C-alpha cells in the first residue's frame, strides 16, 4: 500500500503531466512543512519552477534535493539540466559527471545527460551516453537526434547525416532535425532535399517552430544551389515568424551599451592593477558569425592551447558577486554595469579561474570563446590584466547577413529583423571603439576575417606571436583538428580556409537595403 506521502507525490506528478503548474505548486507547498527532508518534494518544486521560468528558484530547489540525497543519480541529472538552462555549463558538466559516476540506466536520464554534455562541450562522453541509450532503445527518435548532434560537433558528417535521416524516419515531423540535416554540407543540383522540403511546406506544418525550421532549411539549400532570391525569401519568411514569436525589446539591449561605457570610463580603466596575474585565458570575442570559430580552431590547433568553447562563466561569476554584494536583491539591469565595475576584481578573477578549472587539461593556455564577452572587455582587463583579448572583425554587411541567415538555438533575438540587427551591430561597433580608446595600446588584438582568408599563414603567425607562443605549423592545418567544435560552423571548420563567404552580401544588395540603412544611421563605416 502506498503511503500518504507517496500518494500525494504521485498526485503532483499527475498535475505536472497535465501542465497544471499552479495547482502542482500549491500541492508541493502543502507538503514542505512536514516533509522538508524528502528529496522528491524539492525535486518536484524544482521541476515546477523550471517550467514556470523561475530558473534561480529551480536551481535552489534541485540543489537542496541533491544535498538531501547525494548518492541518487537522478538528483544530479536534474541539477545538470537546470544548470545548463541557467547557462552554467561548467557546473552542469560537474553534475553530469557526478551522475554518471553513480550510474545512470534510465533512458530519460541518459537523454537528459546526453543533451547536457553536448551543451557543455563533452562530446565524447555524450557519444558514449547516447550509445548506451541506443542499446536500450534502438528505434528511438530522441536518441538518433542526440547522435546526430554529437556527430556533427565531432566532425563526422556522414554519421551525422545518417542519424538525421534515421530520426526523421522515426519522427517525420521533426523539423529541427530536418534543419540540422540541411546545415551539414553543401548540396548540389543533383543531391539536395529541396523537392522534399517544398512538398512538406505544401502539406502544411502544424507548429510555428516547425515552419521556421523548414524555412531556414530551404533557405540554406537554395543558397547552396545559387538560387539566392529564393533563399532570401525563405529567410525573410522564417525570420519574420521567429521574430513575431520572440519576446524581445531592442531598446532594453541598446540601453546597456551607454551604461557600460559610463561604468568603464577612462578613469576606471586606468586604475592601478587589482586583478589576478594569470596568463592562461585567451578570450575570443566579437559578434557571432564573424569568423571567431575559424580563429578558435587556428589557436586550438596549437599544442599549448586548449579550447573550452563558449563559456558563460565570467558573466555568471560577475552576477553572483553582484548579487552577494546586494544581499541577494533583484538587480536592475540598468545598474548592473556600475555594480560590476565596482567589484573586487581579483576576487572575480579567482572565482572565474576556479570555476573553469574542472574543464582544463594540462595545457598552459585556454580559449574562452563567447562572442558577447565583447560586453565584458572592461571586466576582463581589470580582473585578468594578463589575459589575451582577441577581437574578430568582419565586413559589417557580411557579418550581419551571416547572422540573419542562421537560426540560433539560443540568444541573439535582434538577428531576426534587419533593422534591429543593424541597430544592435552599430551599438556594438561604438562599444568596441570605446574599448580601443580606454585600453592600453595593443591590449585588444583585432584580427580581420577577410585577412585570415587571404593570408592564413601570415595572420596565424602574427596572432601566435602576439600571444607569446612559439609557432606551431599545425595552426595552418586547423581543418585537420579533430577536437569537437561547438558552434554553428562545426561543419565548415573541417574544411581548409575558403573565400566564398567574403562579399556574400553583394548578391542580395537590394534585399539587404534596410540593414545597410540601419548600419549607416548608426555610424558604421561601410566599404
**Distances from the Cα of 482 to the Cαs of 62, 153, 154, in angstroms?**
36, 10, 7
Q: Compute the average pLDDT of residues 287-301.
A: 94
Over the chain, what is the mean pLDDT? 93
Q: What was the pLDDT predicted at 487?
A: 57
161 or 411, higher pLDDT: 161
Q: Compute the average pLDDT of residues 339-343.
A: 96
Dihedral of the alpha carbons of 62, 64, 70, 72, in degrees to the nearest 10: -40
- Residue 520 belongs to what H/E stretch? helix 513-521
Q: What was the pLDDT predicted at 1?
A: 43
- Of the candidates 401, 388, 518, 509, the residue with the CA atom closest to the CA atom of residue 443: 388
Q: What was the pLDDT predicted at 489?
A: 52
Q: Compute the average pLDDT of residues 350-354.
A: 96
pLDDT of 74-92, one tens digit each?
A: 999 999 999 999 888 889 9
> Inter-axis angle of helices 175-183 and 141-154, to 10 degrees?
20
Q: What is the share, in percent, of the chain residues with pLDDT greater than 70?
A: 96
Q: Compute the average pLDDT of residues 34-42.
A: 91
Q: What was the pLDDT predicted at 491?
A: 54
Q: What was the pLDDT predicted at 222?
A: 97
The span from the CA of 527 to the CA of 520, in Å, is 11
Asked if 208 contacts 245 with a C-beta cutoff of 8 angstroms, the reply is: yes
Position 486 confidence tier, pLDDT thresholds 50, 70, 90: low
Question: pTM for this structure?
Answer: 0.89
For every residue of 6-35, DSSP letters joined together read HHHHHHHHHHHHTT-HHHHHHHHHHHHHHH
Position 496 confidence tier, pLDDT thresholds 50, 70, 90: low
pLDDT tops 90 at residue 502 = no
pLDDT tops 50 at residue 327 = yes
The span from the CA of 512 to the CA of 401, in Å, is 8
Q: What is the share, in percent, of the chain residues with pLDDT greater than 90?
A: 84
| Domain edges within the chain | 255-521
- CATH T-level topology, domain 255-521: Rossmann fold (3.40.50)
Asked if 333 contacts 249 with a C-beta cutoff of 8 angstroms, the reply is: no
Q: Which residues, including other chains, have CB under 8 Å from residue 131's CB and lie 6 or more apart?
A: 147
Q: Compute the average pLDDT of residues 204-218.
A: 96
Q: What was the pLDDT predicted at 485?
A: 53
Asked if 434 contacts 374 with a C-beta cutoff of 8 angstroms, the reply is: no
pLDDT of 150-166, one tens digit each?
A: 999 998 999 999 999 99
Helix, strand counts (H, E) of the chain: 26, 5
Amino acid at each position: 500500500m502506498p503511503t500518504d506521502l507517496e500518494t500525494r507525490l504521485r498526485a503532483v506528478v499527475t498535475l505536472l503531466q497535465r501542465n497544471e503548474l499552479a495547482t502542482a505548486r500549491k500541492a508541493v507547498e502543502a507538503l514542505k512543512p512536514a516533509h522538508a527532508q524528502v528529496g522528491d518534494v524539492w525535486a518536484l518544486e524544482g521541476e515546477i519552477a523550471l517550467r514556470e521560468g523561475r530558473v534561480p528558484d529551480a536551481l535552489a530547489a534541485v540543489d537542496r534535493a541533491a544535498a538531501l540525497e547525494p548518492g541518487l543519480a537522478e538528483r544530479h541529472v536534474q541539477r545538470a539540466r537546470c544548470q545548463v538552462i541557467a547557462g552554467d555549463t561548467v557546473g552542469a558538466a560537474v553534475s553530469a559527471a557526478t551522475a554518471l559516476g553513480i550510474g545512470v540506466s534510465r533512458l530519460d536520464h541518459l537523454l537528459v545527460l546526453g543533451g547536457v554534455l553536448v551543451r557543455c562541450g563533452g562530446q565524447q562522453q555524450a557519444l558514449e551516453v547516447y550509445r548506451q541509450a541506443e542499446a536500450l532503445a534502438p528505434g528511438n527518435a530522441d536518441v538518433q537526434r542526440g547522435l546526430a548532434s554529437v556527430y556533427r560537433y565531432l566532425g563526422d558528417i556522414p554519421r551525422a547525416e545518417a542519424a538525421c535521416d534515421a530520426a526523421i524516419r522515426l519522427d517525420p515531423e521533426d523539423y529541427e532535425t530536418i534543419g540540422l540535416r540541411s546545415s551539414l554540407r553543401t548540396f548540389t543540383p543533383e543531391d539536395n532535399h529541396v523537392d522534399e522540403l517544398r512538398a512538406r511546406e505544401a502539406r502544411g506544418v502544424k507548429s510555428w517552430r516547425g515552419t521556421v525550421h523548414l524555412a531556414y532549411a530551404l533557405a540554406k539549400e537554395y543558397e547552396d544551389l545559387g538560387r539566392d532570391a529564393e533563399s532570401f525569401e525563405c529567410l525573410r519568411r522564417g525570420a519574420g515568424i521567429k521574430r513575431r514569436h520572440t519576446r524581445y525589446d531592442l531598446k532594453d539591449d541598446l540601453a546597456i551599451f551607454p551604461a557600460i561605457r559610463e561604468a568603464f570610463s577612462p578613469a576606471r580603466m586606468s586604475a592601478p592593477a587589482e586583478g589576478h596575474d594569470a596568463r592562461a585565458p585567451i578570450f575570443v570575442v566579437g559578434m557571432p558569425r564573424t569568423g571567431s570559430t575559424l580563429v578558435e580552431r587556428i589557436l586550438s590547433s596549437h599544442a599549448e592551447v586548449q579550447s573550452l568553447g563558449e563559456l558563460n562563466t565570467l558573466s555568471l561569476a560577475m552576477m553572483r558577486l553582484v548579487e552577494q554584494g546586494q544581499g541577494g536583491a533583484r538587480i536592475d539591469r540598468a545598474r548592473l554595469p556600475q555594480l560590476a565595475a565596482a567589484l573586487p576584481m581579483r576576487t572575480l578573477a579567482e572565482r572565474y579561474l576556479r570555476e573553469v578549472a574542472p574543464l582544463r587539461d594540462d595545457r598552459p593556455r585556454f580559449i574562452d570563446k563567447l562572442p558577447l564577452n565583447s560586453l565584458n572587455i572592461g571586466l576582463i582587463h581589470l580582473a585578468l590584466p594578463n589575459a589575451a583579448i582577441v577581437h574578430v572583425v568582419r565586413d559589417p554587411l557580411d557579418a550581419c547577413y551571416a547572422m540573419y541567415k542562421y537560426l540560433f538555438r539560443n540568444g541573439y533575438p535582434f538577428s531576426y529583423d534587419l533593422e534591429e540587427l543593424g541597430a544592435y551591430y552599430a551599438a556594438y561597433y561604438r562599444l568596441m571603439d570605446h574599448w580601443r580608446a580606454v585600453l592600453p595600446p595593443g591590449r585588444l588584438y583585432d584580427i580581420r576575417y577577410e585577412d585570415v582568408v587571404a593570408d592564413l599563414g601570415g595572420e596565424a603567425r602574427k596572432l601566435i606571436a602576439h600571444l607569446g607562443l612559439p609557432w606551431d605549423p599545425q595552426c595552418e592545418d586547423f581543418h585537420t583538428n579533430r577536437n569537437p567544435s561547438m558552434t554553428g560552423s562545426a561543419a565548415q571548420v573541417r574544411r581548409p580556409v575558403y573565400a566564398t563567404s567574403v562579399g556574400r552580401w553583394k548578391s542580395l544588395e537590394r534585399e539587404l537595403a534596410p540593414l545597410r540603412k540601419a548600419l549607416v544611421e548608426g555610424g558604421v563605416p561601410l566599404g
